[in-house]
Homo-oligomer: A and B are copies of this chain.
């Protein structure tokens, strides 16, 4: 039934294009096969969720126990653990990235609903552009805070006699660095998502 219907549709549209203005056809054609921003939006948000989740998991699993000399007692060695929750900056980092992961789940579902039913797409785009900017701020500040503290751990600071710890807690530092790199990637993704929402709004004005 479907195969017999198709030629009828083609023959119906053929006289229409002859009758109608050819400019209207030329304009309608590229919008039909246009780049689908909503699908890219969904894909980027899933990637954002993956980045935020793996960043949190790597940071939380970074704990390492090493036998180190006890200060004040020469010759005495005891095991000490390095954990992310020993530093307020890293706790903030985990909290911020967890919230971003939750946000990415909610907005992925919202973005999927736009793909399936593009009625409220403008209102959704505006909401995405607003919220994404707020989350750019949250993720960037968390990355900055964790990066600043981790850099002291890596290099130390001789001026205030903060000794480096990455020569002892090597695994802890490697995990932290990977986690911060993933958070930086998440921040870049959020910037791109916010730009794309704004650009799609801009395109809707010009069309």
Chain A interface (Cβ within 8 Å of chain B)?
71, 82, 86-89, 92, 122, 125-126, 129-130, 132-134, 136-138, 140-149, 151-153, 155, 157, 159-163, 165, 187, 191, 194-195, 197-199, 201-202, 204-206
Contact = CB atoms under 8 A, between A and B. Distances in A.
Contact of A157 (B87, B151, B161): B87
B144 A140 contact: yes
30 contacts: A82-B159, A86-B159, A87-B157, A87-B159, A89-B151, A122-B205, A122-B206, A126-B198, A129-B129, A133-B133, A133-B194, A136-B136, A137-B137, A137-B187, A137-B191, A138-B140, A140-B140, A141-B141, A141-B143, A143-B144, A144-B144, A144-B145, A149-B149, A160-B162, A160-B165, A162-B162, A162-B163, A194-B194, A201-B201, A204-B205
The quantity of this chain's copies bound in the complex is 2
* Dominant secondary structure of chain A at its interface with chain B: helix
A87 B122 CA distance: 45
Contacts of A161: 71, 163
Contacts of A199: 126, 130
A155 B162 CA distance: 13
Contacts of A132: 133
A8 B84 CA distance: 74
Q: What 7 pairs across the A-B complex have the smallest Cβ distances?
A: A144-B144, A141-B144, A145-B148, A89-B148, A144-B145, A86-B159, A140-B140
A157 to B, nearest CB: 6
A168 B206 CA distance: 60
Given A82-B160, A140-B144, 8 more contacts: A89-B151, A126-B198, A133-B195, A134-B191, A137-B191, A141-B144, A148-B148, A162-B162
